[in-house]
Structure formats: C-alpha cells, structure tokens
C-alpha cells in the first residue's frame, strides 16, 4: 500500500515552521472503507500535500454517529492543516453530515454513498431503480465480506436469517475498483453465500479520483 | 458452565414467572419457546389480548429499548421479531374471534426504489400488537400503490418507510400527490427510517417522524385521539 501520509512526517520534522507549512497542507478525513483507494490516488498522482485520516469503516452500520465523529476529527486536526475535506458520501446520515460540513466550512465528496460515487454519481442517478434488487460489493467490501457483511448481519451465527435480509434481492453487483482476479473470485463466492446471481462491473474509482485530484 | 444452566420447564412456571421468561425468550429470539409459552397461557385461559400485550408486546418493548441504546444489534432484533411473529401467528385468529379492541387502521409500506423492510416490519408488528389493523404494502411502492390502498382500506394512518438518502425524497411525491387530490388531511401521515429526522418529516409534509416502533405506537394513538377530539368539537 502506498504511503498515504508522506507529508505528515515532514510536518513534524519541520516544527519551527509549523504554522506556515500547515497552511499548504490538506487533510482528508475519510471513511475507513476508502483508505486504500484514496491512498492509491494520492500515491499514483504524487499528491504529497494531502494527508489522510480515516475513521472506522464500521461506522457504516451506525450512520447516526458519523456526523459527530467527523466533526470531532475536524476539530482535532484543524490547527495542523490549512484545509480539511471530508471523504464521506452522505452514507445514510440523511443530510446531517452535510449540516456538519456546512457548519465547519468543509467540503465533502458529493453523492449518497460510495456505490454511487464509484459508479459516477450522474450515471448512478440516471440508472434509476434498475439495480434496485441488487446488493453492491466494492473491492473493500469483498475483502471485508466475512467481517462486515456476514458477521455484522449475524449470518455466521444464524444462517437462517439470510432470506430475511436478502429474500428480496436477485443479484450481487461487484463494482470493481481494480482488475484483480482473486478479488473477482472472492466476490463470486460472496454472491454464492448470499444465494444471489453475480455480475461484475469495472468502475474504477469513479468520482472519487476526480474529487481527490481536484483538491489543491 | 453448561450444567449451571438448569433446564427450565415452561409449563412448571407460574403465570408471573412464565411471562417474565417469555420476555427473556423474546430477548434471546427463541421462537419455539415463545410458541410453547403462548400455548401454555392459552390453556390457562389467558385471553389472547392479554398474552399479546403483557407477554409479547412488553417483551418487544424491552428489545426496542436495548436496540435504541446500542446494546442489541440488527441480527438480535430480527431474531426477536421472528419469535414475536410466531407468537402472533397463533394469536391473530383468536384475537379476531374474541373481539379484541381495535384502535384504528394503518397502511404501511417502503417507498419506491427501496427494499429495506426490517424496520417497517417491526413497526407493523408493534402497531398490530397495539390494536391497529395493519395493511402492509411491502417494499418498493410507487405512489399509486399508496393511493389505491388508502382508497380501498380507508385507514386513519399512512406510514412510509425509507432507509436510503436516495429514496427518502419520494415521500414528498406521495404527500404532494395526496394534496393535489385533496385527500392529504383525511389521513395521519407518519414517516420513519434511520436516515430521516424531524426536520425532514416537516419538509415533506408528514404529520410526524417516529424514531422507532414504540414512538410510532405512542404517536399514532396520540394523533388519533387528537383527531377524534377535533372532530367532536367541530361536529
Ligand atoms: C440491515 C441493512 C441492510 C439489509 C436490508 C435487509 C432488509 N430486508 O431490509 C441489506 C444488507 C440487504 C441492505 C442492503 C442495502 N443497503 Co442497507 N442497511 C442496513 C442497516 C445496517 C440496518 C437497517 C435496519 O434494518 N435496521 C434495523 C431496523 C429495526 O431499524 P430501522 O430500519 O431504522 O427502523 C426503525 C426506525 O427507523 C423506525 N421506522 C422504520 N420504518 C418506519 C416506517 C414508519 C411509518 C415509521 C413511523 C417508523 C419507521 O422504526 C423502526 C423500528 O424501530 C442500515 C444502517 C442503519 N443502521 O440504519 C444500512 C443502510 C440503510 N443501507 C445502506 C445501503 C447503501 C444499502 C445498499 C445500497 C448496500 C449495497 N451494498 O448494495 C443496499 C440497498 C439496496 C436497495 N435497493 O434497497 C446505507 C444507506 C446509505 C444512504 N446514503 O442512503 C445504510 C445507512 C448503511 C451505510 N451507512 O452504508 N441493507
């Protein structure tokens, strides 16, 4: 994994000029589910003025806690960075994250959730209800499938709950960020565990890459 | 440790202990135990209504509190709901026969584009437990489904559920269509789902946002009573 915080170290070693240096530095406060992907963009494009701080991806399951967790992270880092941006979609906060962002004067990546911005928010919206009976996976979710899907939903302890969760679903759509045969196999196995058909769509990083690249 | 867990024989418990045990079994999502206990209480001449309210609804109320407080999580709630459902399945026909009190009618459904239904099902079940007749339209409901159901069932309450930021605005489509047709004020509109809040419910023109099933029951009863009072004072 590329080093995502190269400049943070140089910051601490340049203590005397902290105030001035900090002005040039931007911190991305992001969902842990995006750590690898944002790190990739930073590394690939040599965006060394960007630092990344991630909050636990498990916050997904309690979206009501996301807005204040983000606010706390902003407050904790404000003095060290000239600018802070938020690597979270709305993520089921029902607009409350936007409220926090507005109050704190920071910007967040547009979109309702990561499935939408990976697909491209415009394309996702245009597709309407076409994928309604699909359950999306991303590279991150495929890697964490057993922990974040099976275990969180209690399907390891109570496999009989599967149809109460997924009874209305028809297929898994794997929105792939990378070309990775191993992940594709794992995604297919995940679909099988859920008793759903499988489709893979390569979408890459979608709007996420644009958003990070445009930060300056 | 296992032998510390003495086998509990439900039929040997007195009524109070049995009801207490049912609360525990609901909490633990033990469907068969709940079915057995419901049958035992019926055999002891409990009314179906008392079994429903004192054992099942009260047990689920406790589950609801611990879910709200982050002590229980979605899988546990789902298991508890399953156990309650099994108990209600036995009681439902008997409740009709014994003429249990009916408080009102509710049509409920998840909005178009959304197929989350765990919360909606729980609300439907607790409303039924509180004496409402519940007509469940299921998931992914376009506005026509709601309108047809209102027309057909003439409920006091319309309930809409949404769990996605992308689908919650559809509630406004439904309320606006009701306004266009001049029927908005004939119904109490309740909305819910994790991403919603009070402000949003006002913005779409609902009567209330309900955080969970217990609040829904309270709000529904309260708004129905207010409506009756209003009608009485107007008439
Ligand atoms: C379980 C779950 C699922 C299950 C759904 C199973 C089912 N049969 O419903 C599964 C795993 C299948 C699923 C799928 C998806 N999900 Co989902 N899901 C959840 C989760 C973790 C819990 C929801 C839940 O059931 N809670 C338990 C019940 C009891 O609580 P509740 O729904 O809030 O209901 C209570 C109250 O809200 C209220 N209430 C509810 N309805 C109503 C109605 C009325 C009238 C009233 C008065 C009250 C009321 O009372 C209820 C009882 O107390 C939430 C996160 C969260 N914590 O909310 C994400 C969440 C809602 N899902 C989300 C997403 C993105 C999806 C998917 C797109 C994910 C994917 N990978 O494809 C798909 C959606 C596909 C689709 N077209 O709908 C996001 C939404 C983000 C956003 N911006 O909108 C969330 C917030 C998770 C996240 N942060 O990413 N999901």
- Which segments of chain B are extended strands (E)? 104-110, 132-136, 157-161, 188-192, 208-209
Asked if residue B4 has pLDDT above 70, the reply is no
Residue closest to A209 by CA, chosen among A47, A57, A8: A47
Given a contact cutoff of 8 angstroms between Cβ atoms, the answer to whether B21 and B9 are in contact is no
Distance from CA of B168 to the nearest CA of A (A): 8
Given a contact cutoff of 8 angstroms between Cβ atoms, the answer to whether B48 and B95 are in contact is yes
Q: What is residue B99's predicted lDDT score, i.e. its pLDDT?
A: 81
Residue closest to B218 by CA, chosen among B104, B130, B95: B130
Q: What is residue B100's predicted lDDT score, i.e. its pLDDT?
A: 79
Q: Tell me the three state secondary structure of residue B130.
A: coil
- Could you tell me the domains of chain A? 6-109 (3.40.50.12500), 115-202 (no CATH)
A20: confidence class by pLDDT, cuts 50, 70, 90: low
What are B108's strand-pairing partners? Answer: B136, B159
Distance from CA of B195 to the nearest CA of A (A): 4
Ligand 1 pocket by Cβ (under 6 Å): A 60-63, 90-92, 112-113, 115, 132, 135-136, 165-166; B 74, 77, 108, 114-120, 122-123, 159-161, 163-165, 190-195, 210, 212-213, 216
* pLDDT (tens digit per residue) in A142-194: 999 999 999 999 999 999 999 999 999 999 999 999 999 999 999 999 999 99
Asked if residue A30 has pLDDT above 60, the reply is yes
Q: What is the pTM of this model?
A: 0.92
Q: What is residue A7's predicted lDDT score, i.e. its pLDDT?
A: 41
When pLDDT is averaged across residues A127-135 and rounded to a whole number, the result is 93
* pLDDT (tens digit per residue) in B112-158: 999 999 999 999 999 999 999 999 999 999 999 999 999 999 999 99
List b or e across B211-222, with b for residues whose CB sees 16 or more CB atoms inside 10 angstroms. Answer: ebbbbbbebbbe
Q: What spacing in Å lies between the alpha carbon of B138 and ligand 1's midpoint?
A: 14
Cβ-defined contact of B166 to A116 (cutoff 8 Å): yes
When pLDDT is averaged across residues A14-26 and rounded to a whole number, the result is 59
**Chain B CB within 8 Å of residue A61 CB:** yes
Nearest alpha carbon, ligand 1 atom 28: B119
């Amino acid at each position: 994994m590329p080093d995502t915080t190269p400049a943070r170290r140089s910051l601490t070693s340049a203590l005397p000029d902290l105030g001035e240096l900090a002005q040039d530095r931007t911190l991305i406060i992001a969902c842990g589910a995006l750590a690898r992907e944002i790190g990739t963009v930073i590394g690939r494009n040599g965006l060394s003025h960007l630092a990344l701080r991630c909050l636990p991806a498990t916050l997904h399951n309690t979206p009501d806690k996301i807005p204040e967790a983000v606010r706390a992270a902003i407050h904790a880092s404000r003095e060290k960075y000239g600018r802070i941006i938020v690597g979270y979609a709305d993520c089921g906060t029902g607009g409350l994250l936007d409220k926090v962002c507005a109050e704190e004067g920071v910007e967040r990546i547009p979109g309702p959730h990561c499935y939408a911005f990976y697909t491209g928010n415009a394309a996702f919206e245009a597709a309407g209800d076409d994928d309604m009976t699909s359950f999306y996976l991303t590279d991150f979710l495929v890697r964490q499938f057993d922990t974040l899907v099976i275990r969180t939903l209690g399907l390891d302890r109570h496999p009989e709950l599967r149809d109460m969760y997924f009874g209305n679903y028809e297929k898994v759509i794997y929105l792939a960020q990378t070309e990775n045969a191993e992940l594709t196999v794992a995604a297919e196995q995940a679909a099988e565990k859920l008793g759903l058909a499988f489709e893979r769509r390569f979408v890459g990083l979608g709007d996420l890459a644009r958003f990070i690249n445009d930060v300056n | 440790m296992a032998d510390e867990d003495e086998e509990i024989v439900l039929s040997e418990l007195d009524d109070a202990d049995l009801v207490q045990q049912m609360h525990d079994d609901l909490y633990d999502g033990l469907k068969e135990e709940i079915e057995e206990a419901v049958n035992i209480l019926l055999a002891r001449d409990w009314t179906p209504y008392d079994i429903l309210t004192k054992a099942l609804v009260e047990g689920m109320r406790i589950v609801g509190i611990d879910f709200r407080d982050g002590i229980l999580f979605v899988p546990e709630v789902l298991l508890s709901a399953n156990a309650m459902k099994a108990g209600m399945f036995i009681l439902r026909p008997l409740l009709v026969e014994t003429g249990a009190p009916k408080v009102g009618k509710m049509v409920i459904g998840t909005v178009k584009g959304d197929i989350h239904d765990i919360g909606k099902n729980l609300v439907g079940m607790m409303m039924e437990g509180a004496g409402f007749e519940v007509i469940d339209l299921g998931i992914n409901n376009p506005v026509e489904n709601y309108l047809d159901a209102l027309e057909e069932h003439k409920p006091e309450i319309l309930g809409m559920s949404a769990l996605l930021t992308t689908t919650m605005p559809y509630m406004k489509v439904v309320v606006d269509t009701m306004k266009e047709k001049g029927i908005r004020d004939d119904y109490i509109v309740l909305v819910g789902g994790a991403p919603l809040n009070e402000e949003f419910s006002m913005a779409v023109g609902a009567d209330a946002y309900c955080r969970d099933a217990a609040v829904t029951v309270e709000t529904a009863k309260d708004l129905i009573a207010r409506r009756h009072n209003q009608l009485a004072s107007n008439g």
